[in-house]
A and B are shown apart, each in its own frame.
Chain A
Amino acid sequence: MTPQDDRPVSPATGDGAPHTRRQAKDAARQDEVRLENAVETADGELPPPAVPATAAGLGAGPAPDAPLLHRIMTGNALVAFLSVVLSLILGGLLIAVTDQNVARASSYFFSRPQDTLGAAWTAASGAYLALFQGSVINFEGDSFTRIIYPLTQTLTVATPLICAGLGVALAFRAGLFNIGAQGQILIGATFAGWIGFTLHLPAGIHLLLVILAGMVGGAVWAGLVGLLKARTGAHEVILTIMFNYIATNLVLYFLSTPAFQRPGSTNPISPQLDATALYPPLLGPAFRLHWGFVVAVLATVFVWWLLNRSTVGFELRAVGANASAARTAGVNVSKGYILAMAIAGALAGLAGVAQVSGTEKVLTSGVAASFGFDAITVALLGRSSPWGTFAAGILFGAFRAGGVAMQASTGTSIDIVLVVQSLIVLFIAAPPLVRALFRLPSPGAPRAGKGGSTTRTPASTGAAA
């Protein structure tokens, strides 16, 4: 767009740019010019609009200009639900296909197809029944404790998933794709564990200090990522991946030093945490469920408050949804990144505390299992909202707890649970696929009719809780 250095800019048409001097005299004409000028930039929004912007455009989705990742992470609840259903169906098919009885029956499929189908049904339904019994209620339990034991197991496993999932979700709302929860859990667990087995303090204070240490550990580890991103512009995905590696190997190294080993042993396993450093059991010693679950509930409430009711959350969400508008509105975007990562890390650190101080009671290199990575899926399934993440955490807790029971009672490999979880991610990441399979309309169209109530919640009164 190089401005022309021609001689006078000629009027576009005789009609459009009247002579300046006459313009002043001819009031009626001037009015017309005004109108013309005005209409030239018109963007006619008349009540009600004939066509909403999305339908008039190419109708891609809720926010065609929003980054793909953002749309995936804050997608539709219905799509999330259908993704779970679809994944379970496919998982069932997989169980059936790999089942030995089905394989045997399918060798004579054309002579007696009902055998194959029956065997397939038996295999899949049996496995899922075991999954249910292992995660919710055990009908065959001989005591009340045994009957509800699976549910408490689910909640126990869900605890770290919820905490770490909240961390991923929160960072995501601030526009950061935090895939470093794994490392943050490990560092949090290391800090918490070390306080737990090295210091010997009175009950109460000890646990408090352990929790604090875990949160600080995670916050520092993730905050570093935020700092590097804000200062150098390095991408947080690369940073968090690398920080995961560093954390894993750092913990391995710590565990090879006497300070982290049991007296008289060189195995890479820490001493047990002091009893004063442990979360007390929530429902008595018969269950593994501990007070860490209550902490996870509180964390969920806190994140909900933070995101929807606090100025900090407002800043973070603004940075995440539109960093340049946030900057223009006076929000310090760099500070936002650091803060968001630090809080996310503290939440992941809580997951680490739940592990060392709740279920495992020792620090090992595998104390984080794959919770840090599952947390991404949990946040994804929960559409990055606090209670959505909570619910998704419980669901994944159930998968994991039930998977153990399914493996023991039906011999179905626990890997099938992993397959189902991965399928869920796959489907959530490809909403058009789910919509096409279920013949759902694409989101562009029905929006005006429904007022977008399914995808949007009133943010001013507490968004997307």
Chain B
Amino acid sequence: MKNSLRKFSRGTGLSAAVLGVSALVLSGCGAPPAEDSSGGGASAEAGSDYLGCIVSDSGGFDDRSFNQSSYEGLKKAETDLGIEINQAESQAETDFGPNVDQMVQAGCNLTVTVGFLLADTTKAAAETNTDANFAIVDDNSIDLPNVKPIIYDTAQAAFLAGYTAAATSETGKVATYGGINIPTVTIFMDGFAEGVAYFNEETGGDVQLLGWDKESQNGTFVGNFEDAAAGKTNTQNFINEGADIIMPVAGPVGSGTLDAVIEANAAGKDVKAIWVDSDGYETAGKGEEFILTSVMKLMGDAVEDVIRTDVEGNFDNTPYVGTLENGGVALAPFHDQEANVPADLQTKLDELKEQIISGEITVDSAASPE
């Protein structure tokens, strides 16, 4: 046994070496840069001593959702404004404290913290580090001079999506479901429900909404933001129940909905999806032709905006509320579905948008920012 293991270890060592060398042979034949090139690193734009930082929540910066869009906003600020940036990804909620602390220690002028779960940590850090500024995404609980909440009245855009869905549904049934029953999710579903209800009221129609009951604040949830297979099953169930437009509010789980929609269309049904957070036509990566529209939270722009204000020295702590009015939330273009949307519906949507901005129509949700 011992002998054979020895042999084994020698064998693997050898083959690993062979592999390594062959990899080098394949890739290592390029020409070196000049010996004294002054280190090919950091082209560091002169004049910028502003450090903008970000701490993710446990979803990480590759969540295709608010962590990612916020991070992209910071990256955009890096190129546009020439600032330095630093980032810390949290693997678990227990990393929040240390990560925020690291950012403060690194001398960040402004630290963006993503998610309401970071509220306590952000508040504590802001209280002890009054000379540093903070911005927190999706939370409006902190009232400190150096913390700027960034929140979204997503229900406004979701209202338009709900109206669109109700107006274009062939079967008279539309559906939505969520990841977890939390306010940042249910605000989409509330707005969507409002839009459907408004359509019914206005036209005397009877379009049903599956998966969410605004009154009881109860509906269909996957229970996480990971299980795309569950999203697919949910969607198939909705389709079987007769729904032809489905809006998943569950981050990556939404890709399961796209799978189900693609399959349903292949089977001859006419089913569409509504994407959330970003314009799914550009980001979802599949089934674009079946995405009716998207309810967008333009977090990147907001983050960049907040940083710009701070760089310019105009930081304030009034919450940034993304609305239809300031473009923080919006309904995405119809892209391929343009043809299916009657011109008068487009007109009607513009009208509704104006009415919401003017306050003529109020979209309320238990989760809406006050």
Direct contact between the two chains A and B in their complex (CB within 8 A): yes
CB distance from B41 to the nearest CB of A (A): 8
Q: Chain B: how many interface residues by the 8 Å CB criterion?
A: 46
Q: Is B30 an interface residue when CB atoms closer than 8 A count as contact?
A: yes
Contact B102–A359 (Cβ < 8 Å): no
B205 at the binding interface (Cβ < 8 Å): no
The answer on a CB contact under 8 Å between B116 and A267 is yes
Which of B40, B93, B106, B182 is the one whose CB lies under 8 Å from A104? B40
Are the C-beta atoms of A366 and B93 separated by less than 8 Å?
A: yes
A81 contacts chain B at the CB level, 8 A cutoff = no
- Report the bound CA distance from A266 to B217 in whole Å: 11
Contacts of B186 in A (CB 8 A): 266
Residues A408 and B9 in contact, CB atoms below 8 Å apart: no
**Complex Cα–Cα for A432 and B2 (A):** 8
Judge if B309 is at the interface, Cβ distance under 8 Å. Answer: no
CB <8 Å contact, B93 and A413: no
Which listed residue (B93, B102, B183) contacts A369, Cβ 8 A? B93
Given A288-B97, A436-B9, verify A272-B27 contact (CB < 8 Å).
no
1/0 contact string of A254-283 vs chain B (CB within 8 Å): 001000001001111100100000000000
Q: Is A120 an interface residue (CB 8 A)?
A: no
- Is the Cβ of A361 less than 8 Å from the Cβ of B120? yes
Q: Mark B1-16, 1 if CB is under 8 A from A, else 0.
A: 1100110110000000
Cβ of A272 and Cβ of B120 under 8 Å apart? Answer: yes
Chain B residues with CB under 8 A of A364: 93, 117
Q: How far is the CB of B106 from chain A (nearest CB, A)?
A: 6
B:18-46 near A, CB below 8 Å: 24, 27-33, 40-41
Known: A107-B30, A256-B181, A369-B94. A436 touches B86 (CB 8 A): no
Residue of A108, A115, A153, A267 touching B182 (CB-CB under 8 A) = A267
Report the Cα distance A403→B367, complex, angstroms. Answer: 36
Interface string of B92-121 (1 = CB under 8 A from A): 111101110011011000000000110110
A106-B24, A366-B93, A436-B9 are contacts. A252–B98 as well, Cβ < 8 Å? no
The reply to whether A267 and B120 form a contact with Cβ atoms under 8 Å apart is: no
> Once bound together, how far apart are the Cα atoms of A401 and B97, in whole Å?
11
- Could you give, for residues 223-242 of chain B, a 1 whenever the CB lies within 8 Å of some chain A CB and a 0 otherwise? 10000000000000000000
Chain B residues with CB under 8 A of A436: 5-6, 8-9
How distant is the Cα of A85 from the Cα of B102 in the complex, in angstroms? Answer: 27
* Interface status of B337 (Cβ within 8 A of chain A): no
Would you call A414 an interface residue if the criterion is a C-beta within 8 Å of the partner chain's C-beta atoms? yes
Min distance, Cβ A446 to any Cβ of chain B, angstroms: 13
Q: Which residues of B contact A249 (CB under 8 A)?
A: 223
A268 with B180, Cβ < 8 A, contacts A106-B27, A408-B102 known:
yes
Contact B28 A109 (CB under 8 A): yes
Would you give the shortest CB distance from B91 to chain A, in whole angstroms?
A: 6
Determine the distance from Cα of A371 to Cα of B91 in the docked complex, in whole angstroms. Answer: 12
Are B28's CB and A108's CB within 8 A? yes
Chain B 63-97, CB-CB to A under 8 Å as 1, else 0, gives 00000000000000000000000101101111101
Instruction: Select from chain A the residue with minimum beta-carbon distance to B99.
Output: A404
B133 within 8 A of A: no
Q: Which A residues between 407 and 461 are near B, CB-CB below 8 angstroms?
A: 407-409, 413-415, 418, 432-433, 435-437, 442
Is A111 a contact of B106 with CB atoms below 8 Å? no
For window 158-206 of B, CB contacts with A under 8 Å fall at 180-183, 186
21 pairs, CB–CB < 8 Å, chain A vs chain B: A108-B28, A109-B24, A109-B27, A111-B31, A112-B32, A153-B98, A157-B94, A249-B223, A266-B183, A267-B116, A359-B94, A362-B120, A369-B93, A404-B98, A408-B103, A413-B89, A418-B91, A432-B1, A435-B5, A436-B5, A442-B1
11 new A-B pairs (CB below 8 Å) besides A268-B182, A408-B99, A435-B5?
A107-B28, A109-B29, A111-B32, A115-B32, A116-B28, A157-B94, A266-B366, A272-B120, A364-B93, A418-B91, A436-B6
- Report A's interface with B, CB cutoff 8 A: 60, 101, 104, 106-112, 115-116, 146, 153, 157, 249, 252, 256, 262, 265-269, 272, 288, 355, 359-362, 364, 366-367, 369-371, 400-401, 404-405, 407-409, 413-415, 418, 432-433, 435-437, 442
